[in-house]
Amino acid sequence: MALSLPAIMKTTAARLSALYLLLFALCAVLLVLYMTSLSARMLTAQTQETINDEVLGLARAYQRGGLPVLVRVVEARSRQPGANLYLIADANGQILTGNVQSLEPGVIETEGWTMDPFSYQRFGEGELDRLRSGGSDQATPPANDGNTPQSTGEKGHNAIALVLRLPNQMIMLVGRDLGEPERFRAVISRALTLALGMMGLGGILIWFFVGRAALKRIDSVSDASRRIMGGDLSGRLPVTGAGDEFDRLSENLNSMLARIAMLNEGLKQVSDNIAHDLKTPLTRLRNRAEATLAGRHKTEEYRQALEGTIAESDQLIKTFNAILMISRLEAGYSSEQTGPVDLAATVSDVVELYEPVAEEAGVALETTVSEAFTINGNRELIGQALSNIVDNAIKYSTDAAEAPKVRVVLERAGNEIKLAVTDNGHGIPDDADRARATERFVRLEKSRSQPGSGLGLSLAKAIMTFHNGRLDLLPANPGLSVVMSFPLRETH
């Protein structure tokens, strides 16, 4: 898949990132507008306060000496460098004194604060413009009467002012140039806009690369999935170790794939084992029937042959039932109901069932129960697993040099409940053989002389897995200890 922008935008992460980026940009724009507006209001208020102070000073000069003193003060202040504007005009709007050469039309016609910033030109700026443009030989424009529009040229400025009408109907304007506030506002606006642009660009780059990385992860998962669907069940989804949601999803899917692979391997083993291990008893069953039909036998001989056939068939049925039970348990499904199980009572029932068998085989069967334990499980399945283990222990302890003995112990070990069946026979000294002993139809060399199908421990292992426990085969020196470990659950 090409890592293009349309492909990235199809991912949920990219869409969420785009939504967050849009929300961030909207908030940033609102912040810029708010800060700019707030700065303008603050600067305007400060400018008006400065103008009011100037007006109060001129008002005191007018009260002190009338119009002549006011004109002298205005002329003196007009010659001082600064951003303040001073203008005195007659009743017709003809400029008499001040530092303003021309005004935007209509500014001094209305008394009070100017509604909007107006353009103006100071004295001397027109001549300077003409000198710079080579037009010094042109005539000087006439003074503005305050009503005639004048071009402010490139040197035009903006200002706000307070227009007052004196008692003799003359007009006084006191204003302040907005160049400094506008420059300050422009600096703030540019700074906020630059910050917004940098943050927006950074957000877009992060979004692009994060979305691109996420898309790469999805592509790798898709490629691995296609290989797995193609039949490679050994393949696994990539895990980077970052611990993010992709890794958690991959780990869960890998666990599922491992479970599927184990079930498929178990199915393959069942098929192979049925083909090989069940071929012998079926052949023996057929040969017995063929031999019986080949000659003339008495009724009692036919009866014995049929009884042998039925016994062999029963053993085959038990084998198939065990295989089906193992497959069903390993698949994680069982139609059997689960509920509270008293392990001590289960141990007592199984031991009582096998005491006659052990006594007949000359094996001492002992039981040690430290305390009563109740778990959530299936009593019949646990009893069947324990029966298989006890039956094996009795069979394989009869070859012990000393008195054969089987001991069943139920106790608590840390956070687990241990149910151990230990014999003193030859055991299984090799670690590899102990690991193989729980596989289907596996019968070690020393057990070939004993009857069985090699499914007892396999079924016990499947039952323990179904109960979230485990089955361990440990050396007992001498003998073998088969331990069923259940997770401890507090009862209420």
In this structure, of 111-115, 129-133, 258-262, the range with the lowest mean pLDDT score is: 129-133
Q: What is the pLDDT of residue 146?
A: 42
Q: What is the DSSP string of 269-299?
A: HHHHHHHHHTHHHHHHHHHHHHHHHHS---H
Q: What is the pLDDT of residue 334?
A: 58
- Any idea which of 60-74, 87-101, 205-219, 405-419 has the lowest mean pLDDT? 205-219
Range in 64-68, 194-198, 373-377 the model is least confident about? 194-198
pLDDT of residue 306: 83
Q: In whole angstroms, give the CA distance from residue 354 to residue 358.
A: 6
For the residues 180-207, what does the mean pLDDT come to?
76
Per-residue pLDDT tens digits for 464-479? 888 889 999 988 888 8
Distance from the Cα of residue 87 to its chain's centroid: 70
Q: Which residues contact 165 (CB under 8 A, 6 or more apart)?
A: 111, 171, 172
Is 334 in a helix, a strand, or coil?
A: coil
Least confident residue range of 33-47, 326-340, 408-422, 423-437: 326-340
Q: How wide is the angle at C-alpha 247 spanned by C-alphas 245 and 250, nearest 5°?
A: 110
CA dihedral 139, 140, 145, 150 (to 10 degrees): 80
Higher pLDDT, 487 or 282: 487
Q: Is the pLDDT of residue 2 over 80?
A: no
H helices present in 80-178, as ranges: 125-132
**Whether the Cβ atoms of residue 128 and residue 121 lie closer than 8 Å to each other:** no
Instruction: Determine the average pLDDT of the residues in 22-31.
Output: 79
pLDDT 10s digits, 405-448: 999 999 998 889 999 999 888 878 776 667 777 776 565 545 44
The per-residue pLDDT for range 243-277, each reduced to its tens digit, is 777 778 888 888 888 878 777 776 776 666 666 66
**pLDDT band, residue 130 (cuts 50/70/90):** low
What mean pLDDT is predicted for residues 38-51? 83
Round the average pLDDT of the chain to a whole number and report it: 77
| Residue 330 or residue 25, greater confidence | 25
Q: Measure the CA–CA gap between 409 and 298, rounded to whole angstroms.
A: 52
Of residues 162 and 318, more confidence is placed in 162
Cβ neighbours for 235, distance < 8 A, ≥ 6 positions apart = 224, 227, 228, 257
Binned at pLDDT 50, 70 and 90, residue 150 comes out as: very low
Structure tokens at 294: 């080949």
pLDDT at 142 over 60: no
pLDDT, position 152: 41
Q: In the chain, what percentage of residues exceed pLDDT 90?
A: 8
Over residues 132-140, mean pLDDT: 46
pLDDT reported for residue 419:
93
Burial string for 288-324 (b: 16+ CB within 10 Å, else e) reads eeeebeeeeeeeeeeeebeeebeebeeeeeebeebbe
